Amino acid sequence: MVTHDDHNDGSDSPHYPRIVLCVPGPWEGRDDLAQRLLQGPFVLEEKKLRRADGSEAFEAEFRGPDPRMRPAFQASACRLRPSLTPADFHAIQAHRGVLYVLSDPFGRATAAAAASRMIEVGRALIEAGGIAVKCESSGIAHSAERWRRPDLPLFEAFVRLPIVDEIDELYSVGMHLLGLPDGIVNLKDFEPGDLRGATGVLEEFLRSHAAPKGFTASPEPCTGYEPVEFFWNRWGRLRLRRE
């Protein structure tokens, strides 16, 4: 949901974030998944995943098995705290169907609530046999076991880091799904090869929203992605620099 306040957030782009979940499972078809969902809080209809009480609906698309699913999950597996195991990847390889679920576009004021609802969507699909969950909007994937955690923080669910580009800049993707700017640091501000240290500094900053001691933070646009791409952050990035 995009509110009036979101139209005055400092960006003139018409593109707002939305969360897209990819959940593979053992389902032989859409009807199979729909049947397994009947005892839960959601009902699967044609192109829609609807709350059983009718209060909310999400765009949804069921597809058959995809041979690219395993390598896609391997490439997107959470790096900070890995949860996907060889057994998970084997099960993903053997999946029989996949459901993609899309949130409505949302702005800064409603981002956390939208992300929380998509956590609930993922859990319902896991209870119906889903093997794992990948957020297409930030390129991060988790095991079903992790997604089931009742205390799973939104940051851990949706924010991917470290990502390192060809000019030795390390950054995050996914903070836009929480209504916040992403973070970026230059590895030249750290000891050579200290990827862990740079990642730790950036994670601390993103979680606390306060620049770590010895660093300053300054805003800049989100570059490297186009506004039409899922990873683009309309609220930009905050760059950490050594004082």
Structural domain spans, the chain: 10-155, 161-242
- My answer on whether omega of the bond before 14 falls inside 30° of 0, hence cis, is no
Using only the alpha carbons of the chain, give its radius of gyration: 19
Q: 111 has which bridge partners?
A: none
Query: Which residue in 159, 172, 167, 170 sits closest to 195, CA to CA?
Result: 170
Q: 218 has which bridge partners?
A: 239
Is the separation of the CB atoms in 71 and 92 below 8 Å?
no
Is the separation of the CB atoms in 43 and 124 below 8 Å?
no
User: For 26, what's the count of Cα atoms within 13 Å in the CB-facing half-sphere?
Assistant: 10
pTM to 2 decimals?
Answer: 0.93
CA dihedral (118, 120, 121, 123) positive or negative: positive
CA distance 215 to 241: 5
What is the full per-residue pLDDT of the chain (243 aa) written as tens digits? Answer: 555 345 445 566 789 999 999 999 999 999 999 999 998 999 999 999 999 998 999 999 999 999 999 999 999 999 999 999 999 999 999 999 999 999 999 999 999 999 999 999 999 999 999 999 999 999 999 999 999 999 999 999 999 999 998 889 999 999 999 999 999 999 999 998 899 999 999 999 999 999 999 999 999 999 999 999 999 999 999 999 998
Q: Which helix (H) or strand (E) holds 140?
A: strand 140-143
CA distance 121 to 47: 15
Q: Quick one: 90 exposed, middle or buried, by C-beta within 10 A (0-12, 13-18, 19+)?
A: exposed
- The pLDDT assigned to 193 comes to 85
User: For 15, what's the count of Cα atoms within 13 Å in the CB-facing half-sphere?
Assistant: 13
Structure tokens at 152: 């799973």
